[in-house]
Structure 1
Amino acid sequence: MRISNPQLLPLCQSLWLPVTFRTQIRPLSRWHAQQSSDVYIKAAKAESYRCRSAFKLLQINESFSLFKGKKRVVDLGAAPGSWSQIAVKLARKEPSTIPVLSIDLLDFEPVPGTIHLPKTSVENTTVINKALEEMWGENKPQLVLSDMLHNVSGENSFDHINSLKLCSHVLKFCFIHLEDRGSVVMKIYNGPHEPEFIKLLQFYFKRVKRFKPDASRKSSKEHYIIAKGFQRDVYDKKHSRPEIQDDLSEELD
């Protein structure tokens, strides 16, 4: 598979580099006004969800039936835990089985009904493999969730590249861990390289869609990519050994 945009190749060759963070400081008065008038913040408090983002996942699931039949779910970038709350609520329950693994670099309070891996990188395969084996034996996760996003700087191109790097971490996680025919949801920041990333996803997943739930603020440049029907046989045929390359250059040749 060949990428038409030559500017994307150097980017993909460095997709596993650490994301750089810059913070944009908004006027407090505008922030407080936005918070006080936000219906999803009020609804999250009423439903005891940890964050308004819970409604984003609920709306994504309503449109794409993500959790139908899913009993093994991994939540990447889980802090503060609202998506894990929804995953516990919607995942199919089985006796003596915990359905959700919650992972984040940050420390955060455990979500009841999950296995909790704080201060853990999504690339820490040793720790993650141990947790997955203890939870589900040889079975792989059926659904991977990612609401990860860097601190937005306000520089669109910079934010887009950092977002794409995070999405690449999620995709690499899927290559290693996701079950055949499994699904993934990941947040992405709008930008010119997204079509090429979607093209890559379409090579490995049967169905790939873009979606912006109503719970996402209209002013936000974020939306979500939903990829369903992971084709592990396609991945296995393309790779002569099971370990993942440290970049995507081989994927793009």
Structure 2
Amino acid sequence: MVDKALGTGGRKSDKDLKIRVKSAKGRKVSSTKWLERQLNDPYVARARAEGYRSRAAFKIREMDEKHKLFRKGMRVVDLGAAPGGWSQVAAKATGSTPANPLIVGIDYLEMDPIPGVILLQKDFTDDDAPAMLIEAMGGKKADLVMSDMAWPTTGHRPTDHLRIVQLIEIAAAFALDVLAPNGTFVAKVFQGGTEHELLHMLKRHFKTTMHAKPPSSRQDSAEAYLIAKGFKGSNDTVPGEGEYDR
């Protein structure tokens, strides 16, 4: 059940108008807090109003506005695409169409079709997933590989951080295989200090690397994004990088 907290009189403040969610039998406290946060999140409301499948669409939009990630006609791979918000933004920004799809998304969750996007229902960490993505791209190189992937959290922050770094390493290895020269790699991280080795590797393969915290990323979250731009290409990779040079 949802109600609105009322003031004692006069003009109601924003705090007064905040939607409160009453506890329900059988609902965990964490679930109640999540529901209350969603109902009061302006980006959730904007996503519904603008036809996006999730508030995450604004994260990639904001990063694009600041760092110029997209351009017309570029090819994009969206790792961990569900429910499809990032792919929606990419399709519009690149001019992708059903007749000439430029976006390929992959996720183990089922997704409704998106015009101009090839969607694969597959766990990206499966051994055959990279080959499926390359086939879906028609063997062409990608200009941008973007990843909003994250494992379900365990509640143990160091463990969760190590798991997300593992995902980024897999995504980075794929990006080095499929990116065209001067391509871009974007991936979600959780700040915690153990991604330094990964960042060092990216600096060897890309001209510029940086962290980004888009305004729509909740400020109380450790979530941030790594952006690596200007892929040097396979001829400029550095020997001895192990799996990243496959």
Q: Which residue of 2 aligns with 1:55?
A: 58
Deviation at 1:139, TM superposition (A): 2.9
Q: Which residue of 2 aligns with 1:125?
A: 130
Q: Which residue of 2 aligns with 1:6?
A: none
The answer to whether 1:203 aligns with 2:204 is: yes
The answer to whether 1:43 aligns with 2:41 is: no
Q: Which residue of 2 aligns with 1:234?
A: 236
TM-score scaled by structure 2? Answer: 0.81
Are the aligned partners of 2:96 and 2:103 in contact in 1 as well (CA < 8 Å)? no
Are the aligned partners of 2:97 and 2:115 in contact in 1 as well (CA < 8 Å)? no
Q: How does 1:63-102 map to 2 (within 5 A)?
A: 63-69=66-72, 71-93=74-96, 96-102=99-105
3-state DSSP of counterpart to 1:144: strand
Higher-RCO chain (CA-CA 8 Å, sequence separation at least 6): 1
What residue ranges of structure 2 are gaps of 5+ in the alignment? 1-27
What residue ranges of structure 1 are gaps of 5+ in the alignment? 1-24
3-state DSSP of counterpart to 2:200: helix
Deviation at 1:151, TM superposition (A): 1.3
CA RMSD of aligned residues (A): 2.3
Are the aligned partners of 2:62 and 2:214 in contact in 1 as well (CA < 8 Å)? yes
User: Which residue identity lines up with residue 144 of structure 1 in the other structure?
Assistant: V
The CA deviation string for residues 214-234 of structure 1, in whole angstroms up to 9 with x for no partner, is 101111111000100111122
Aligned partner of 2:31 among 28, 36, 41: 28
Distance, in Å, in 1 between the alignment partners of 2:220 and 2:157 is 13
Structure with bigger strand share is 2
Distance, in Å, in 1 between the alignment partners of 2:178 and 2:216 is 29
Q: Which residue of 2 aligns with 1:8?
A: none
Q: Which residue of 2 aligns with 1:113?
A: 116
User: Which residue identity lines up with residue 186 of structure 1 in the other structure?
Assistant: A
Distance, in Å, in 2 between the alignment partners of 1:112 and 1:95 is 6
Are the aligned partners of 1:70 and 1:143 in contact in 2 as well (CA < 8 Å)? no
Taking structure 1 as reference, are residues 208 and 70 closer, same or farther at Cα in structure 2, changes over 3 Å only?
A: farther
User: Which residue identity lines up with residue 212 of structure 2 in the other structure?
Assistant: F
3-state DSSP of counterpart to 1:186: strand
Q: How does 1:178-189 map to 2 (within 5 A)?
A: 178-189=179-190
The CA deviation string for residues 193-239 of structure 1, in whole angstroms up to 9 with x for no partner, is 1222111100000000101111011111110001001111222x627
Distance, in Å, in 1 between the alignment partners of 2:31 and 2:194 is 33
Are the aligned partners of 2:72 and 2:95 in contact in 1 as well (CA < 8 Å)? yes
Deviating 4+ runs (over 6 angstroms)? none
TM-score scaled by structure 1? Answer: 0.79
Distance, in Å, in 2 between the alignment partners of 1:40 and 1:183 is 26
